[in-house]
Chains A and B, each alone.
Chain A
Amino acid sequence: MTTEILGVIATYGLTLLLAWPLARYIVKVFKGEKTWSDFMAPMERLFFKISGIDPKEEMTWKEHLKALLTINLVWFVYAFFMLMFQDKLPLNPDGNPGQSADLAFNTAISFLVNCNLQHYSGETGVTYLTQLFVLAFLQFVTAATGIAALIVVFKAFKEKSTTKLGNFWDIFLKTNTRILLPLCIVIALILAFNGAPASFEGKDTVVTMQGDTVNVSRGPAAGFIAIKHLGTNGGGWFGANSCHPLENPNYITWMTEMVAQVVIPIAMVFALGMFINRRKFAYVIFGVMTIGMIILLIPTMMAEINGNPAIAHMGIQQLTGAMEGKEVRFGPAATGYWSTVTTIISTGSICGFHDSTMPMTGLMELLGMMLNCFYGGCGVGILNYYIFIIIAVFISGLMVGRTPELMGHKLEAREVKIAAIITLLSPFLILAGTALSSWILAHHPDANWAVKPSAWLNNPGYHGFSEMLYEYTSSNANNGSGFEGLGDGNVFWNVSTGFVLILGRFLPIIGPVAIAGIMASKKYIPESAGTLRTDSITFGAMTFAVIIVLTALSYFPALALGPIAEYFSLYR
Chain B
Amino acid sequence: MKKYLLPSIKLTVLLLVLLAGIYPLIIAGIAKMAPGKGGGVTVTHNGKVVGYENIGQKFTDDKYFWSRPSTVDYNAAGSGGSNKAPGNPDYLKTVAERIDTFLAHNPDVKKADIPAELVTASASGLDPHLSPAAAYIQIARVAKARNIAPEKLKQLVDANTQAPVLGMLGPSTVNVLKLNVALDELK
Contacts and interface: CB of A to CB of B under 8 A. Distances in A.
Interface of A: 3-4, 6-7, 10-11, 47, 50-53, 66-67, 69-71, 73-75, 78, 121, 123-124, 132-133, 136-137, 140-141, 169, 173, 176-177, 181, 184-185, 188-189, 192-193, 195, 197-201, 203-204, 206-210, 212, 214-218, 220, 222-224, 238-240, 243-246, 249, 251-252, 254-255, 307-311, 314-331, 334, 350-353, 355-359, 458-461, 463, 483-485, 566, 569-570
B54 interface: yes
Contacts of B10: 50-52
Interface residues of B, number: 106
B121 to A, nearest CB: 6
B169 A3 contact: yes
Given A198-B27, A329-B173, A251 B164 contact: yes
Interface in B37-75: 37-42, 45, 49-61, 64, 68, 74-75
B31 A209 contact: no
B117 to A, nearest CB: 4
Contacts of A355: 81, 83-85
A331 B58 contact: no
Closest 6 CB pairs of A and B: A485-B83, A243-B123, A198-B31, A240-B79, A215-B77, A198-B38
Contacts of A334: 170-171
11 contacts: A51-B11, A52-B7, A137-B16, A216-B52, A240-B125, A315-B112, A326-B117, A350-B123, A353-B83, A458-B83, A461-B87
Nearest to B37: A199
A317 B113 contact: yes
B27 A185 contact: yes
Contacts of A308: 86, 116
Contacts of B172: 3
A51 B168 CA distance: 52
B31 A569 contact: no
B133 A320 contact: yes
Contacts, number: 378
B27 A204 contact: no
Nearest to A74: B8
A199 B23 CA distance: 12
B156 interface: no
Contact of A463 (B32, B85, B164): B85
Nearest to B11: A51
A325 to B, nearest CB: 4
Contacts of A461: 87
B19 A176 contact: yes
B184 interface: yes
B138 interface: no
A185 B77 contact: no
Contact of B121 (A4, A246, A325): A325
B78 A121 contact: yes
B186 interface: no
Interface string B158-173: 0000001100111111
A319 B169 contact: no
A197 B120 contact: no
Given A208-B57, A214-B76, A71 B86 contact: no
Contacts of A132: 20-21, 24
Contacts of B16: 133, 137
B145 interface: no
Which of A11, A71, A355, A356: most chain B Cβ within 10 A? Answer: A356
A112 to B, nearest CB: 12
B35 interface: yes
Interface in B13-38: 14-16, 18-21, 23-24, 26-28, 30-32, 34-38
B31 A140 contact: no
B161 to A, nearest CB: 12
B30 A70 contact: no
B27 A209 contact: no
Contact of A483 (B11, B45, B83): B83
Contact of B95 (A52, A188, A311): A311
A56 to B, nearest CB: 14
Contact of B19 (A181, A222, A569): A181
Contact of A459 (B88, B113, B177): B88
A216 B84 contact: no
Given A193-B31, A212-B58, A314-B96, 12 more contacts: A11-B169, A52-B7, A121-B78, A192-B27, A201-B39, A217-B78, A223-B24, A319-B115, A323-B116, A326-B123, A355-B81, A463-B88
A4 B28 contact: no
Interface string B101-123: 00000000001111111011111
A169 B3 CA distance: 13
Contact of B117 (A124, A137, A207, A328): A328
Contacts of B87: 310, 359, 461, 463, 566, 569-570
Which of B119, B123, B172: most chain A Cβ within 10 A? Answer: B123
A331 B83 contact: no
Given A71-B11, A195-B41, A209 B23 contact: no
Contacts of B122: 243, 323, 325-328
